[in-house]
Structure 1
Amino acid sequence: MPKVVKVGVVKSNKMDKTAVVSVERLVRHPLYTRAFKKTSNFTVHDEANKCQVGDRVKIVECRPISKRKRWKLVEILVSPAEREAKVQVVEDVK
C-alpha cells in the first residue's frame, strides 16, 4: 500500500522529537459547491529536532510511534530563515 505524503507548516516544536504540522486542503460543499479551506493538525516525529515554527515541511505516514504520532518528517522544503536571506539578497541587488 502506498504511503500518504502531505505538505504543511510547522505550528509547534516545543516537544522533544515531536512537531505539530498544520495541513490545509480545499473542500467543496456537497450541496452548495462552494470551496472552503479545512485545516488538520498532525503530530509528527522529528528525530533530529531540526524543524522550526513556520517551516514548510513534507511528512509521510508511518507505523504508530506513540498514542498520537503516526507521521514522520521527510524534509524541510522552505524555512523562514531561508526566505529572509533571499529577501535581503534581492534588496542588496536593488
Structure 2
Amino acid sequence: MPKRLLIGQVTRDSSPTTRRVEVPRLVKHEVYGKTMRRRTICYAHDADGISKNGDTVEIEESRPLSKLKRWVLTRVVAKASASQNAAIVAETPAS
C-alpha cells in the first residue's frame, strides 16, 4: 500500500527535530452545502532541521516515531518570506 503524501505549512518549529504542520482542506457542509475550511494538524519528524516556521513542506506517512509523530518531512516545497515569518510570530500567543 502506498504511503500518503500531504502538503502543509509549518506552524511550530520550537523543538530541534519535530515540526507541527497544518494541512488545510475544504469540506462541504452536509446540510447547507457551504464550503468550509478545516485543517488537520500533523507532527512530522525533521531529522536535519531544514524547515522553519511558515515554510510549505511535503510530509509522508510513517511508522509511529513517538506519542504524536506519525509523519516524516520529505522536502521543503517553498521557503517562507520574512514578512510571513513576522505574521506567524505575531499571531502566536505568548506563553
TM-score by length of 2: 0.82
User: Paired residue for 2:49?
Assistant: 49
Aligned counterparts, 1:70-81, within 5 A: 70-81=70-81
2:10 is the counterpart of 1:13:
no
User: Paired residue for 1:37?
Assistant: 37
User: Paired residue for 1:85?
Assistant: none
Please report how far the alpha carbon of residue 65 of structure 1 lies from its aligned counterpart in structure 2 after TM superposition.
0.4
> How far, CA to CA, are the matches of 1:37 and 1:80 in structure 2?
22
Considering only CA atoms, is the larger Rg found in Structure 1 or Structure 2? 1
Amino acid at match of 1:51: S
> How far, CA to CA, are the matches of 1:66 and 1:42 in structure 2?
12
Structure that is richer in helix per residue:
1
What do the CA deviations read for 1:5-63 (whole angstroms, capped 9, x no partner)? 10000001101210000110000011111101001111100000110000000001000
> How far, CA to CA, are the matches of 1:16 and 1:55 in structure 2?
15
| Count of equivalent residues | 83
Unaligned runs of 5+ in 1: 82-94
User: Paired residue for 1:89?
Assistant: none
Percent identity between the aligned chains?
35
